[in-house]
Structures are given as structure tokens and as C-alpha cells.
Amino acid sequence: MSAPETRPTPPASGLLKSTSVVSLMTLLSRVLGLVRDVVFARFFGAGMVMDAFFVAFKIPNIFRRFFAEGAFSQAFVPVFAEVDEQGSRDEVRDLVDRTAGTLGIVLFIFTAVGVLAAPALIAVFAPGFLGDTDGSRYELAVGMLRLTFPYLLFISLTALAGAVLNTYRQFGVPAFAPVLLNVVLILFAAWLAPGAEAPGMVLAAGVFTAGAVQLMFMLPFLLHIRLLPRPKWGWSHPRVRRVVTLMAPIIFGASVAQINILFDTLIASFLATGSISWLYYSDRLMEFPLGVFGIALATVILPSLSRQHAAESPASFAATMDWALRLVFLIALPAAAGLAILAGPILTTIFAGGQFGAGDVQMSTLSLVAYSLGLPGFILVKVLAPGYFARQDTRTPVRIGVIALVVNMGLNVSIVVPWVLAELPGPHAGLALATALSAFLNAGLLWRGLRRDDVHRPGPGWRRFLLQVVAASGVMLLLLDYFTAPVSAWLEVGTWQRVGWLSVAVAGGIVAYAGTLLATGLRPSDLRMTSPDASL
């Protein structure tokens, strides 16, 4: 057996560079995702076809939380990093081979069952479709799901490849893969679907194709680092069993999360036609800053935290957590404020036109404002959870997540039902508001646990830093509110004028925020990591 190969934890400058790379790739993906959604909105609007498609696309993405970026990645990366830190190269290859073989066989069987059970899945996830007099949405969604469900197999194996590459600090390749998803879906939606007899089925075929393309894209990079899997069944392998053991509580928590999503979709399916689509379009815009920054930062710090834990370096671990949390507040608070105040203009600029009318803008704005209120909470959850997963503690964040999700389901009922009974416009926004509130509960409980375990040790200057960020966000918010024209004015002008107005608003908001931070004394040096072995 060859000697263990130890690799030093990257300094904070390396973490910042890696976060920037992932953020850049994610930004590209999100921009193309917005282009994709613009194509969806302009060609298909917010009617029957898109309601059915979004449900059919949502279901494999729900199970993706179990097998891909969710339960699997959060369990696999700490174990893989530990083996890579302390074991031999042969042990690393063996773990990859056996994990790939086991995951692939399990996923193939699960996918086959999902395709056969498509009618039952649609009936469970969107029971309101069964109430259509002609059954059109239900039949369409069933057909679509049979094409979209195999996406789960492809994207989960893609996630395994990405987890291996991330551990070797090759973050750019996995972060670029979603770009291919959006490119393929844009091609199918803009060129193939419009002239087809069944455009919805063409969109579903695009999802299938996109999953296969992403997986094929990853393989040459695994070959380059000589870790292209030679799949082997490894259910009884001790390290595979360790991954499965760590996955178990996450899967339980993810199951509760999917029940919550099911509950959201169930309620929305009984609301006005278009409610599912309005929630989708607003959620996509909220996911933009969440993915570009929150998920990117979480992706980068998990391998580093896992190595620091394996190397028994609690001081570096705590410093990395503290550094990451400061970045969260620096970015998330102004992003939430800007998204809330510019919700209508953003939706108008990106989606308005074609089949997406003023009413769709109004309804989507209500849910986007509600989602934006929870943006800091959503990002905090993404960044705090690796503090547990890196220590191979999967039970605590799952238990906390279950508490938050149960509260979320209660809030769904307590907010939406009175909203409907009062006949107020946009009751779907109540679902977004409930999700936002539960995110803060989740983040608060996660942070309390890290403080209790002495994993997060706040560095000096936190109170002053928060006051500076809040003050700068407030100045930016007031200026945007004063100078931004009402949505009715945005609807009356052309697309390029909207783009110009929005560009000025965003640039002005950034200048106001950064200028206020500098005026209050915050400097880039204040964000340096105070670690015994790393500095910015």
C-alpha cells in the first residue's frame, strides 16, 4: 500500500478565488437560466402547458435532493475528503468505483419505477389537475414526467462526478455543467417546441437530453485526474456503508422537505390557473443570488471544512465559518433589499411580453417580494449546514430542518387559507412568505447549534460590521425606492428601454451600497480571515 497523500488546506485567498470561480460559472448558468425562462414565458406564458411542465420537471428535481446535491453529496464529500486526506490513492479509486456502481444500479431501478408510476406521482403532486373537466393538464403532465424522470439518473451521476472534482478543488467544471442544461432547454423551447404538434412533450424531451449531455461533459475531466469510475457493486463496502449511514438522516429530512414541497404544490394546484407558474418565475429570480453566491460559497467551503476537521484543526475550521458568515451578510442583505424593491421592474424587463402579460407581472411580483424577504435566511442555511456535514454530523441539521419544515407547512395553511377567504389578490404569495419565514427559523437553529458546540467562534468587530451593512442596505433601499419609476411606466416602454432603466437602477444601487460602506469605515481588509494558518 502506498503512503497516504496529505494535501494542505487552501488559504482564505484560495477559498475566495474558488468561490469567485464557482460564482462566475453559476452566474453564467443563471443568466442562461433567465434566458431559458424568458423563452418559456414568451412562447408558452403561464398556462396549461407550463403548469404541467413545471410539475413534471419538479418531480425528478425533488428526488434529486436525495441522490444528487442533497443527501448524497453532503454525505459523500466528507467521507471522500477524509479518505483522500488520510488514505492511499488506491483507496480513493476504490471508493469512487464502488460508490459509482452502487449509486448507478440503485438509481436505474428507482428511475424505472418512477417512469412506470408517473400517473400516480402526478396525482399525488398535483391533485388539482385531476379536477380539470377534460383531464388535459393531468394527461399532459403524465406524458411529460415519463420523459423527464430519467433526468434524475443522469444528474445524480453528474453530481457524483462533481463531488470528486470539487474535492480536488476543480470547482469550475461542475459549476459549468448547469450551463449545458440551460443551453439544451433553450434550443428545444425556442426552435423545436413551437412548431411541434405536442410542444410540451418536446420540452420534456429537452430535459432528458440535457441530463445526458451534462453527464457526458463530466467524464473527460474525471479521466484527466485518473478517477473515471469503473463501476463496482459495493453495498457492503465499509466506506460506502458509511456514506449510506450519513445519508439516512438527510434522506429522512429531505423526505419531510419533499412533503412540504408537495404540500405547496397541492395548495397551488387548487388556486387560480397560473399560480404554479407565477411561483416558479419568482422563485427562479430569487434563486439567482442564492445560486450565484450562497450555493457557490457552500460548495467551496464544504471540502475545506471537511479537510480541516480530518486534520483536527478546530481553529481553522472556526475561522473559515466566521469568514463565510461575514460574506453572507455582506452580500445577502443588500441583495434581498434590492430584489424586493425592484421585483416588478425585474419581472417586467425579463418576462413581460408575448404570452406573459401585465397580470402575470403583478402576480409574480407578489410572490417574488415574499421570497426576497427570506433570501438571507436561505443563504445562511446553505452556508451553516456544511459546519455540520463537514464533521459528519448529518442528524442535527436534519432534525432542525424537519422542525422548520413542519412550521412551514403550518404557516402555509395559516397564511393562505385566510388570504383566500378574504378574497385578497395573489394568495399564492402566501406560500412564498411561509417558505421565507421558515428559512429564518432554520438558519437561527443551525447557528445556535454551532455556537453551542463552539464550532463558530465570532471574530472581533461583528456588531460594527452588521451596523455598517444594515445602514448601507437602508441607504440603497431608500434611493432605489425614490428614483425607480412605477411598474406601469415600465410596461409602457420597449424592452431595451427597460433594460437601460434596470441597468441604471442596479448600478446605482451597487454604488450607493458600496459608497455607504466606505463612508462608514468598512474596508476590504476588515474581511480578512483571522486563522492561524490562513489569511486573505
Asked whether residue 225 is assigned to any structural domain, the reply reads yes
Question: What is the pLDDT, as a whole number, of residue 78?
Answer: 83
46-50, 341-345, 421-425, 517-521: segment of lowest average pLDDT:
46-50
Query: Confidence band (pLDDT; 50, 70, 90) for 2?
Result: very low
Among 176, 180, 166, smallest CA distance to 222 is for 166
For residue 336, how far is the Cα from the chain centroid? 16
pLDDT on residue 166: 82
Q: Please report the pLDDT score of residue 252 as a whole number.
A: 67
Residue 535, pLDDT > 60, answer no
CA distances from 295 to 205, 207, 267 (A): 28, 22, 28
**224 found inside a domain:** yes
Question: Tens digit of pLDDT for each residue in 222-233?
Answer: 999 899 999 999
Q: Looking at the predicted structure, is the pLDDT value of residue 63 above 60? A: yes
Extract the C-alpha cell encoding 246: 450519513
What does the alpha-carbon distance between residue 453 and residue 475 come to, in Å, rounded to a whole number? 37
Identify any residues that bridge with 534 across adjacent strands, giving them in sequence order: 531
Residue 430 and residue 475: Cα distance in Å, rounded? 28
Q: Is residue 273 classed as helix, strand or coil in its secondary structure? A: coil
250 vs 208, which has greater pLDDT?
Answer: 208
Task: Give the DSSP letter of residue 491.
Answer: H
Asked if residue 337 is part of any domain, the answer here is no
Average pLDDT of the chain to the nearest whole number: 85
Average pLDDT of the segment spanning 123-128: 85
- Of 122, 114, 117, nearest in space to 140 by CA: 122
- pLDDT bracket for residue 457 (50, 70, 90): confident
Confidence at residue 135, expressed as pLDDT on a 0 to 100 scale: 59
Whether the predicted pLDDT of 49 surpasses 80 = yes
Is the pLDDT confidence value at 283 over 50? yes
Dihedral sign for Cα atoms in the order 326, 377, 453, 258: negative
The 3-class secondary structure across 142-184, one letter per residue, is HHHHHHHCCHHHHHHHHHHHHHHHHHCCCCHHHHHHHHHHHHH
CA dihedral 132, 135, 140, 145 (to 10 degrees): 90
Mean pLDDT, residues 462-469 taken together: 94
Residue 342: pLDDT band with limits 50, 70, 90: very high
The whole-number average pLDDT for the span 19-27 is: 79
Task: Confirm if 452 and 393 have CB atoms less than 8 A apart.
Answer: no
For residues 38 and 187, the answer to whether their CB atoms sit within 8 Å is no
Residue in the structure block whose three cell numbers are 428545444: 188
- Going by pLDDT thresholds of 50, 70 and 90, the confidence category of residue 282 is confident
Number of separate domains in the chain: 1
Residues in the chain: 536
Has residue 229 been placed in a domain?
yes
Residue 440 grid cell = 429564518
* Contact residues for 40 (Cβ-Cβ < 8 A; gap 6+): 50, 189
Q: Is 83 inside any structural domain?
A: yes
Give me the torsion for CA of 377, 380, 382, 385, rounded to 10°.
Answer: -120
Query: What is the pLDDT at residue 512?
Result: 96
Half-sphere exposure of residue 6: CA atoms within 13 angstroms, side-chain side: 7
In a domain, 494, yes or no: no
Rounded Cα distance between 241 and 371, Å, is: 38
Q: What is the pLDDT of residues 267-276, one digit of tens each?
A: 887 888 788 8
Task: Identify whether 99 is part of a domain.
Answer: yes
Q: 136 near 82, Cβ under 8 Å? A: no
Q: What is the pLDDT of residues 472-516, one digit of tens each?
A: 999 999 999 999 999 999 999 988 999 999 999 999 999 999 999
Identify which of 37-46, 85-94, 96-105, 420-429 has the greatest average pLDDT. 96-105
User: What is the per-residue pLDDT for 260?
Assistant: 63
> Is 50 exceeded by the pLDDT of residue 395?
yes
- pLDDT interval class at 6 (50, 70, 90): very low
List, for residues 239-271, the tens digit of each pLDDT value: 888 888 887 776 665 555 556 656 777 788 788
Alpha-carbon gap, residue 304 to 313, rounded angstroms: 11
User: Which three cell numbers mark 433?
Assistant: 412568505
> What's the domain range around 161?
48-247
Residue 444 forms part of a structural domain: no
Q: What is the pLDDT of residue 158?
A: 93
Give the burial class of 492: count Cβ atoms within 10 A of its Cβ; 0-12 exposed, 13-18 middle, 19 or more buried.
Answer: exposed
Grid cell listed for 402: 424537519
- Give the model confidence (pLDDT) of 292-301 as tens digits: 787 778 878 8
> Does residue 534 sit in helix, strand or coil?
strand
